[in-house]
Amino acid sequence: MYALLNRLWRQACRNEARKFQLAVRDPLASQTDTFKRQLGVLASSQWESRWRLDATTSVQDYQKQVPLTCYEDYRTALDQIERTGENPLTTERVKILEPTSGTSEETKWIPYTPTLHREFQSALSVWIHDLFTQRPAVMRGTAYWSISPPLQRSSISRSGIPKGFDDDSAYLGFFSRQVARRLLAVPGDVKHYTNADDWQYATSWYLLQDSRLAFISVWSPTFLLELMKFCHGASRARMVRDIHDGICRLTDGQQIRVSRSCSVFSQWDRRNVIELLEGPLDLSQLSSKIWPSLSVISCWTDASSQRYVSQVRELFPHAEISPKGLLSTEACISIPIMNKSGAALSLRSHFLEFVTDAGEPLLAHQLEKGNRYQAVVTTGGGLYRYQTGDWIQVTGFLDACPLVRFIGRDSTSDLVGEKLTDQFAQYVIEALLGAVKQAGRFAMLVPDENQKRYCLFLELDRDALHPHTDDELCELVKRLDHLLRKNVYYGQARQLGQLHSSIIVREKTEGSFLERYQQLCRRHGIRAGDVKLVALETNPEKAREFLAAD
C-alpha cells in the first residue's frame, strides 16, 4: 500500500519537476517568466499602485522604483489584514496568517494567499519527485513529518482569518496532502496536545511501534535529538506498558488508541519493540532494529545546525542525512537535490534577487561560484523586494542554475559598536574547536550587556566532558579572544576597554545547555520544531534570560 500511494504522489509531482528541469537550463528566462507572473498577481493592489507598476514594468524599472523592504515596512498592511481581512498587498484574499520567528521579541505574521501557497507547492513538488526518484527506498514505508505542539490554542484574527498551519503537510497541495496523511507514522492529532510532555510521549508511542518508518522530515536536528532522547528516557517502563496494552495514557488521564489516519501496528511490532526497550541496547543500536527500513532523514545541516548532524548520524547510522533547502515562512529560496552539493534555486516559485556585500542586487543567472549573497524575494503573498536576512553561498551549478547553501543570518550583536554576526560567530566557534581538536555538542556566544563581554556556552563531545585544568581553560579563553579580535570593531573595543575579555562557560551535565535554550525559545513563542540553533544569540531579551539561568 505504501509504495502505491507514494508512486501516486510522485506522479502528481511529475509535471512540476519537468518544468523545473527546463527552468534550470535558462535561469534568466525562467525568472523573467516568474517576475511577469508576480506582476500579474500584484496588479491593481494598493501597494502596487504606490510604485506605479503594471504589466509592462521591466525588472530594471522594478529595481529602481521599489526599494528593498523589511518586515517593519508591512506592519500597517498586516494590521489592516488582521483587523478587517482586507488585503492591500495583493488582490487575493488571505487564507491564513502563519507565525514566523525573527530576531525581535514578538511573533511576526506572514499572510498566505492562494498564489503563495502554489509557489511553495511548486518547490516541494520538485523536491518530493527528486527524493522519490533518487531514493526509491523512501517510497516503501511510512514517513514522519515534523508536527510541533502548539504554543497556544488555535486562534483566528479579529477579521476571522485562521492563524497558523496545523503541520508541515499543510504546505502541500490538496492531493499530495491527502496522500501524505495516509502515510504518516504519527497522525496529525498530536498537534492538539498543548502539554509538551504529552506531545512528546504520544509522538514517541506512535514512532516506536512503526517498523515501516522509511523517511523522517524535521527542521532542526536538535528537534529530532530531543525526541529520540525522550523515546529512550525515563518513561521507558510506562512506554512498555502502554505499547503492550495498545493504549497511550497521557498525564491528564486522557487515553488514545491507534489512529486510523496512521499505519496499523502489528502485534509483531509491539512485541519486538517491547523486547528491545527492555534490553541493554543504547539508542543508536535500538534505532536500526526498531526502524530497519529508515532510509533518509531530512533536516537542516548548514550554518549552526552543522555541529548537530554528527549526533543524528550517531543515532541513525543506517540512514542517510539529506540537507534541507533554504525554506522559511516567507519564501522558498532553494530546493534540495539529491547527490548535489547544495540546493538549487527555486526559480519557478518567487522572483529572486541576491545582494552582494557591496549592496549590488544581482539576478540568479549572475551569481558566481564561491561568492556569498543576501537573499531578497518578491512573492505572490505580497512581499516586495523583501530582505530575508538569509545569506547564501554558491557551491556549484545544476545546468545553469546556481546551487547554494545557507551560511547564516544578517542579525548582529552590538554591545558597543562591534556588530558581531552569526556567520562570524560560527567561524570563531569552528576555528576554536578545530584548534583544540574537539567536537562541540553545543556552542553559542551570548552577549552580556551588564558585564560588557561575550560568554561562550560550550558543551564538548562526550569523550571530552572531563573538566579542563585552569591553564588549559585559560589558554582556550585567550584563543577565543584572539579569534573574536579578527572583527576589527571588536578588537578596537577591547583595546579601548569598552569590552572585557570573553569567558567560556563549561557544562558538565550533557544536554542541559541545549535543553535550556529550547525551553527559552518556547517561552518566546517558537514551536519546538522551529527552534533554530544559532552560533550567536542576537535577541537581547533572550540573551539576558539565558545568562540569568546560569
- 163 Cβ contact list (under 8 Å, min separation 6): 96, 97, 98, 99, 109, 154, 155, 156, 157
- 475 Cβ contact list (under 8 Å, min separation 6): none
- Of 264-268, 280-284, 290-294, 424-428, the range with the highest mean pLDDT is 290-294
Contact 200, 239 (CB under 8 A): no
Q: pLDDT band for position 107 (50/70/90)?
A: low
Grouping H, G, I as helix, E, B as strand and the rest as coil, residue 299 is strand
| Residue positions counted in the chain | 550
Q: In what order do the strands lie in the sheet with 440-448?
A: 440-448, 453-460, 503-506
- Is the pLDDT reported for residue 487 higher than 60? yes
Grid cell locating 165: 498551519
Q: What percent of the chain has pLDDT over 90?
A: 44
Cα distance between residue 545 and residue 233, in whole Å: 27
Grid cell locating 225: 535529538
Q: Is 361 exposed, middle or buried (0-12, 13-18, 19+ CB in 10 A)?
A: middle
**Which position has the grid cell 558585564?**
451
Residue 5 burial (CB count, 10 A): 16
Grid cell locating 359: 549592496
Q: Is 179 exposed, middle or buried (0-12, 13-18, 19+ CB in 10 A)?
A: buried
The residue type found at 261 is S
**390 pairs with which residues across the strands?**
409
532 versus 169: which is more confidently predicted?
532
Cα distance between residue 307 and residue 333, in whole Å: 23
The residue type found at 377 is V
**Rounded mean pLDDT of 444-450?**
92
> Is residue 109 within a helix (H) or strand (E), and if so which, with residue range?
strand 108-112
- Is the pLDDT reported for residue 342 higher than 60? yes
Work out the mean pLDDT of the chain and round it to a whole number: 86
Q: pLDDT band for position 102 (50/70/90)?
A: very low
Grid cell locating 448: 552580556
**391 pairs with which residues across the strands?**
374, 408
Grid cell locating 107: 511573533
Contact 107, 101 (CB under 8 A): yes
Per-residue pLDDT tens over the stretch 452-477: 899 999 887 654 544 456 777 888 89
Q: What percent of the chain has pLDDT over 70?
A: 90
What is the greatest pairwise CA distance in the chain? 70
Domain ranges of the chain: 2-115+343-407, 127-165+183-323, 412-548
Grid cell locating 542: 533572550
235 versus 19: which is more confidently predicted?
19
- Is the pLDDT reported for residue 152 higher than 70? no
CA 94 vs CA 42, 47, 171: distances in Å: 13, 15, 15
Chain Cα centroid distance, residue 431: 24
Single out the residue of 172, 121, 165 nearest to residue 349, CA to CA: 121
- Is the pLDDT reported for residue 308 higher than 90? no
Cα distance between residue 204 and residue 250, in whole Å: 12
Q: What phi and psi values does residue 489 have, to the nearest 5 degrees? A: -75, -35
Cα distance between residue 392 and residue 340, in whole Å: 16
**Cβ contacts of 253-259, under 8 Å, gap ≥ 24:** 254/198, 256/189, 256/202, 259/187, 259/189
Q: pLDDT band for position 331 (50/70/90)?
A: very high
pLDDT at 265: 58
Burial 233-254 (b: 16+ CB within 10 A, else e): eebeeebbebbeeeebbbeeee
331 versus 419: which is more confidently predicted?
331
Burial 35-47 (b: 16+ CB within 10 A, else e): bebbbebbeebeb
Single out the residue of 270, 228, 231, 277 nearest to residue 247, CA to CA: 270
- Is the pLDDT reported for residue 275 higher than 90? no
pLDDT at 167: 61
Q: pLDDT band for position 151 (50/70/90)?
A: very low
Grid cell locating 141: 514505508
Cα distance between residue 63 and residue 353, in whole Å: 10
- Is the pLDDT reported for residue 261 higher than 60? no
Cα distance between residue 241 and residue 243, in whole Å: 6
Please state the pTM of the whole predicted model: 0.81
Cα distance between residue 239 and residue 202, in whole Å: 10
Cα distance between residue 349 and residue 124, in whole Å: 10
332 versus 254: which is more confidently predicted?
332
Task: Tell me the CA end-to-end span of the chain in Å, nearest whole number.
Answer: 52
**213 pairs with which residues across the strands?**
142
CA 159 vs CA 162, 165, 216, 442: distances in Å: 9, 17, 36, 43
Angle CA 82–67–73, to nearest 5: 25
- Of 73-87, 100-114, 419-433, 526-540, the range with the highest mean pLDDT is 73-87
The residue type found at 364 is A
